[in-house]
Chains A and B, each alone.
Chain A
Amino acid sequence: MENSAKNRARILLVEDHASFRQALAFMFEREPEFTVVGQAGSISEARGSLDGVDVAVVDLGLSDGDGTVLIEELSKSEPRVMTLVLSATLDPAVLPARWRPAHRVCCTRPSPYRTSWMRYGGSRPVRLCCLRTRSWRCSAWWAGSARGRSRPRDPSSERLTRRELEVLRALAEGMDSQKISRRLGITIETERTHMVNILSKLGLRSRLQALVFAVRHDLVEIR
């Protein structure tokens, strides 16, 4: 599915570990839904790269200060920009105290992984999501959802069966083929058949695209 430049979510990556930032940028750029318009390794670099940004993915521990400083600046100067926080801790105490009362914490399940992604929605109600079992893919999901949350339902989605919608919902919970098949009581082969049919009906090429599409068109609910 082609996506014109103006429909892509424009992403600014603020992360001081360059190898990860570059890998993340490369993977975002491979997806038609996103375009990386800037990369910064520090708060000072990020301040010069805010023009035209839809989503800022911000590491909290930056070389010249705390990423929360940048996020607060963004929420005042660019309130429409959605911010994703990348943190190596699940402890809400890393966030400024004034943010915490509005947080709703969603932990998917116990996991040893220490990576969490949090979303700070500026003046809107804040939601803190600890996606402990998800890989880098979750960033794409949230970025996609940030730009297109209010889009109308796409007519092609009406062709999905109840079972296919169940597969999409499980996918939105971060499940892989094995877990989805277990949840739905079907074989992995059947799950893959459902996924192939979903992609075909929606004109998509990957599970990630299906996930973004589902979130954008309210086919799944973000928990």
Chain B
Amino acid sequence: MNSGADVTERGGGEAVRLLMANEPRAYREGIAAAIRELRPGVEVTTVEPDDLEGSILRLTPDIVVCNRATSPVREGVSVWVELYPDYAPWSVVSVRGVRSTLAEIQLPDILSIVDLTAGA
């Protein structure tokens, strides 16, 4: 897998902040670990789903990955991924209000979302 260019800073030079609160934990930690390696400039934080809303207020993430995009996620975060809601095979991606459903999201898809956010 090619890590590609490190384009993980936003226009203003700030690092992209990615908050991951999906379950199960192995998915969360596994995907987070891979993103940290492949996009070293991204600030990746993992939290329990119960801590998601408080973490949004505290960290003001650019991207949230979770199993269920609640109102605070939809209203407070411009880019979010509803990853495998209820262990379904599909995922929902919202980028600045534009939503799409991916039948089988791939790790490169998530990296593309990070890159897209960085390039905003």
The residues of A with any CB-CB pair to B shorter than 8 Å are 16-20, 22-24, 26-27, 30, 41, 61, 63, 86, 88, 112-115, 135-136, 139
Q: Judge whether B43 is part of the interface by a CB distance below 8 angstroms.
A: no
Interface pair A86/B1, CB less than 8 Å apart:
no
Interface pair B37/A30, CB less than 8 Å apart:
yes
Partner of A115, one of B25, B37, B105: B25
Q: Mark B92-106, 1 if CB is under 8 A from A, else 0.
A: 000000000000111
Interface pair A113/B107, CB less than 8 Å apart:
no
The residues of B with any CB-CB pair to A shorter than 8 Å are 1, 23-27, 29-31, 33-35, 37-38, 48, 83-84, 87, 89, 91, 104-110
Beyond the given pairs A26-B1, A27-B30, A114-B23, 17 more chain A to chain B contacts, judged by CB atoms under 8 angstroms and listed by A's residue number, are A16-B89, A19-B31, A19-B83, A19-B91, A19-B109, A22-B1, A22-B107, A23-B33, A23-B107, A26-B34, A26-B37, A26-B107, A61-B87, A114-B25, A115-B26, A115-B27, A139-B26
Select from chain A the residue with minimum beta-carbon distance to B23.
A114
A–B pairs, 25, beta carbons within 8 Å? A16-B89, A17-B89, A18-B106, A18-B107, A19-B27, A19-B105, A19-B109, A20-B26, A22-B34, A22-B108, A23-B31, A23-B34, A23-B107, A26-B1, A26-B38, A26-B107, A27-B37, A88-B24, A113-B24, A114-B23, A114-B24, A135-B25, A136-B26, A136-B33, A139-B26
Select from chain B the residue with minimum beta-carbon distance to A117.
B26
Q: Count how many pairs of residues, one from A and one from B, have CB atoms less than 8 Å apart in the complex.
A: 68
**Closest CB of chain B to A113's CB: distance in Å?**
4
Chain A residues with CB under 8 Å of B1's CB are: 22, 26
**Closest CB of chain B to A59's CB: distance in Å?**
10
Chain B residues with CB under 8 Å of A139's CB are: 26
In Å, the complex CA distance between A160 and B31 comes to 34
Chain A residues with CB under 8 Å of B26's CB are: 20, 86, 115, 135-136, 139
In Å, the complex CA distance between A24 and B38 comes to 13
Select from chain B the residue with minimum beta-carbon distance to A139.
B26
In Å, the complex CA distance between A26 and B108 comes to 12
**Closest CB of chain B to A83's CB: distance in Å?**
17
Chain A residues with CB under 8 Å of B33's CB are: 23, 27, 136
Interface pair A112/B48, CB less than 8 Å apart:
yes
Interface pair B107/A19, CB less than 8 Å apart:
yes
Residue of A19, A115, A139 with highest tally of chain B CB at under 10 A: A19
Chain A residues with CB under 8 Å of B110's CB are: 19
Select from chain A the residue with minimum beta-carbon distance to B46.
A135
Chain A residues with CB under 8 Å of B30's CB are: 20, 23-24, 27, 135-136
Chain B residues with CB under 8 Å of A41's CB are: 104
Chain A residues with CB under 8 Å of B107's CB are: 18-19, 22-23, 26
Chain A residues with CB under 8 Å of B37's CB are: 26-27, 30
